[in-house]
Structure 1
Amino acid sequence: MRLSPQLGWSALLLGALAFPYLAGNDYHLTVMSTAYIYAIATVGLNLITGYTGQFNLAHSGFMAVGAYTVGILTVDHGWPFWPAFALSGVVAAILGLFVGLVSLRLKSHFFSIFTLCVGYIMFLLIEKWESLTHGTVGIIGIPAPGAIGPLDFTEARPLYYLVLFFLVASLWIMHRIVHSLLGRTFVAIRNGDHLAEALGINLMRNKLLAFMLSVFFAGLAGGLYAGYVRFLGPGIAGVEHTFDMTMYMLVGGIGTLLGPLLGAIAVPWLTQYLQVLQDYRFVVFGPLLVVLVIFVPHGVVGSWLRWRRRRVAPASPVPAASQEGARHARG
């Protein structure tokens, strides 16, 4: 019996809804909520990398832009959380427009190297521009998300459900994008620029749109992170977070919807249970990542989808002429 995708997604949602009642303490809720936030950002990175074929190494920088948008507007200018949060993804997307106009003229690893430099510049600006970002001191006292009617988000459990809501909404929006004509356009670009151009696809316009949508999700995740953690420092813009999100995609399955989600949840929990190896994190995960890339290049979900397609694919019929020839050969 085949498990329908709708049934699988429903089971995941029910498990997520029940998790606060199964978690032993608020720390477990914090770990899972943070994993959900990074899952939103990873879903955005997967759009530009997995579906469009452009590896953006400045993704954590755009997440930091969204986070600092909320932090600066709420702490320094007295804005309520929700209006500042509404601008987090928008500001990241606007910045992504200008970065994309320059970087997307480059191809392959040149694009990745350029965005790596952009991400490092973002980190330096956050660290050194003390009058705006508070520098290495960071931004302290960011307000929690404001209450919506009877819903108060000052406790761990309501905050968990708030983050879960935005994760589900992000996955639903991403599902609509990748299964639309726009999503097929992105995949065509990933499969080959020249072929896509021959089909009449405007490469620059669609790459730029994919880039802006991708960093919008990163900014949104950053805004949620600021309201959840309520403290920001330059470290959020570090390129290591982009590499973490890349690992989530590779483990789960790049170019799939479920893969980045499972990777973003499974890997942080694995690190929690390997705290004794925290100082040797990259020594442990580096070889593991190499093994995955070599032996499971499509990730857990991608490999499972390919196996399922091979299993259910009908056997190709043998032409009648071939059957007749085989009988003559045997005769």
Structure 2
Amino acid sequence: MTPQITFKSALPWLIVFALAALIPVFTSNRYILDVAVNIMIWTIAAYGLNVMLGYAGILQLAHAGFFGIGAYTVGILTLKAGWSFWLAWPAGVALCAVLGLLLGLVAFRTGRETFPIFTLGVGVIITQVINKWDALTGGNDGLNGIQAPKLGSIDFGRGAAFFYLGLITLGLVIFLVARVRSSMFGRSLIAIQGSEDLARTLGINVFSHQLRVMMLSTAIAGLAGGFYAVYIGFMGAAITGVAQTFVVLLYLLVGGVGTLAGPLIGTALMFFLGEQLKNFGDYQFIVFGPLLILMVMFAPGGIAGLWSKTMFARQKPPPPADRSQQEATDAGV
């Protein structure tokens, strides 16, 4: 049964976020805050992929493309249309949701087996369109000068304000995903993942649920992308590439597909490891590759899944002793 949200289950999350909120209090080091914000951005993106792959069992390979659409929407609307970030950001999320719906209307009709390949092709098309549409996206030159948002007297381009905006956004996304996971909709998605035919016999509209989870997934990707755009201040087509989708997928596989904590754990661990190895360039995959193989072999449920399994094993009561053992114990042997 899908777990319900209770104070006991939420307490570890509250502790983690309370500790995270203290980071800017104890350090003003720009590098540390930069790594922390990037981890939050890519964790949000990983949660978007997790609701598709982890709950519905559907691998969608245009995820970075929707991340880029959200980012470019914010960049274009703020730079060229003069919109406020606070209007452009939800507009980017809404656009990604609508495009996710349109993609789903076509892609889900191709069949579950061909769905990943279809979305892979769409991801390539998104990158090419962004890269070639010079008048709108800047083409190879990208978008420069995207300004950090302001809210009254708060300038999110300075100090710890951006960190706390990211932390609040991440917290809201985790809360939303947790609610979805514990809802009837989430339970229906898990049933669809197990067997679409069985789900239909239970009265579940499989196609409708798939479209809704597609919209949710792409909307979360656009949310992360819009936040990324104003934090980095520059957008290039490379961030929308299929390779970036596989990076997010790596975060998810290491953390634990279908788990609530997996995207956060996997992204934090792998992004931090990538920062330590970034001077090695593409050679860092010599480390990532074997690590992923070991995770698949020994912890297919990821770190979060392995932890849950270990804790469950610890909580299991010891097997009852057989009669002869019990008699020996009673006799003092």
CA spacing shift, 1:124–1:175, aligned 2, 3 Å:
same
User: Could you tell me which residue of structure 1 aligns to residue 168 of structure 2?
Assistant: 165
Q: Please say if residues 40 and 170 of structure 2, whose CA atoms lie closer than 8 Å, have aligned partners that are also in contact.
A: yes
What number of residue pairs does the alignment pair up?
318
User: Could you tell me which residue of structure 1 aligns to residue 282 of structure 2?
Assistant: 279
Alpha-carbon distance in 2 for matches of 1:52, 1:316: 36
**If the length of structure 1 is used for normalisation, what is the TM-score?**
0.91
**Bigger mean CA deviation after superposition, 277-286 or 208-217:** 277-286
Give yes or no for the alignment of 1:176 onto 2:204: no
Alpha-carbon distance in 2 for matches of 1:255, 1:291: 19
Alpha-carbon distance in 2 for matches of 1:62, 1:120: 11
Q: Please say if residues 55 and 193 of structure 2, whose CA atoms lie closer than 8 Å, have aligned partners that are also in contact.
A: yes
CA spacing shift, 1:238–1:199, aligned 2, 3 Å:
same
User: Could you tell me which residue of structure 2 aligns to residue 194 of structure 1?
Assistant: 197
User: Could you tell me which residue of structure 1 aligns to residue 4 of structure 2?
Assistant: none
**Bigger mean CA deviation after superposition, 298-307 or 65-74:** 298-307
User: Could you tell me which residue of structure 1 aligns to residue 61 of structure 2?
Assistant: 57
**Bigger mean CA deviation after superposition, 191-200 or 214-223:** 191-200
Q: Please say if residues 50 and 263 of structure 2, whose CA atoms lie closer than 8 Å, have aligned partners that are also in contact.
A: yes
Alpha-carbon distance in 2 for matches of 1:175, 1:311: 25
Q: Please say if residues 128 and 135 of structure 1, whose CA atoms lie closer than 8 Å, have aligned partners that are also in contact.
A: yes
Give yes or no for the alignment of 1:81 onto 2:88: no
- Offset at residue 315 of structure 1 (A): 6.5
- Offset at residue 278 of structure 1 (A): 2.6
- Structure 1 residue corresponding to 2:126, chosen from 103, 110, 122: 122
Look up the equivalent residue of 2:136 and give its one-letter code. L
- Offset at residue 283 of structure 1 (A): 2.1
CA spacing shift, 1:316–1:93, aligned 2, 3 Å:
farther
Alpha-carbon distance in 1 for matches of 2:33, 2:159: 7
- Structure 2 residue corresponding to 1:133, chosen from 117, 133, 137: 137
Alpha-carbon distance in 2 for matches of 1:221, 1:183: 22
Structure 2 SS opposite 1:297: coil
Q: Please say if residues 73 and 84 of structure 1, whose CA atoms lie closer than 8 Å, have aligned partners that are also in contact.
A: yes
- Offset at residue 47 of structure 1 (A): 0.1
User: Could you tell me which residue of structure 1 aligns to residue 293 of structure 2?
Assistant: 290
**Bigger mean CA deviation after superposition, 79-88 or 52-61:** 79-88
- Offset at residue 101 of structure 1 (A): 0.5
Look up the equivalent residue of 1:300 and give its one-letter code. I
Look up the equivalent residue of 1:205 and give its one-letter code. S
Structure 1 SS opposite 2:154: coil
Q: Please say if residues 48 and 218 of structure 2, whose CA atoms lie closer than 8 Å, have aligned partners that are also in contact.
A: yes
Q: Please say if residues 251 and 299 of structure 1, whose CA atoms lie closer than 8 Å, have aligned partners that are also in contact.
A: yes
CA spacing shift, 1:23–1:191, aligned 2, 3 Å:
farther
Alpha-carbon distance in 1 for matches of 2:127, 2:278: 27
Look up the equivalent residue of 1:221 and give its one-letter code. A
Look up the equivalent residue of 1:294 and give its one-letter code. M
Q: Please say if residues 148 and 155 of structure 2, whose CA atoms lie closer than 8 Å, have aligned partners that are also in contact.
A: no
5+ residue gaps, structure 2: 1-7, 328-333
Look up the equivalent residue of 1:83 and give its one-letter code. L
Look up the equivalent residue of 2:118 and give its one-letter code. F
- Structure 1 residue corresponding to 2:313, chosen from 310, 313, 316: 310
Alpha-carbon distance in 1 for matches of 2:150, 2:68: 21
Alpha-carbon distance in 1 for matches of 2:63, 2:159: 27
Look up the equivalent residue of 1:206 and give its one-letter code. H
- Offset at residue 314 of structure 1 (A): 4.9
Q: Please say if residues 265 and 303 of structure 2, whose CA atoms lie closer than 8 Å, have aligned partners that are also in contact.
A: no
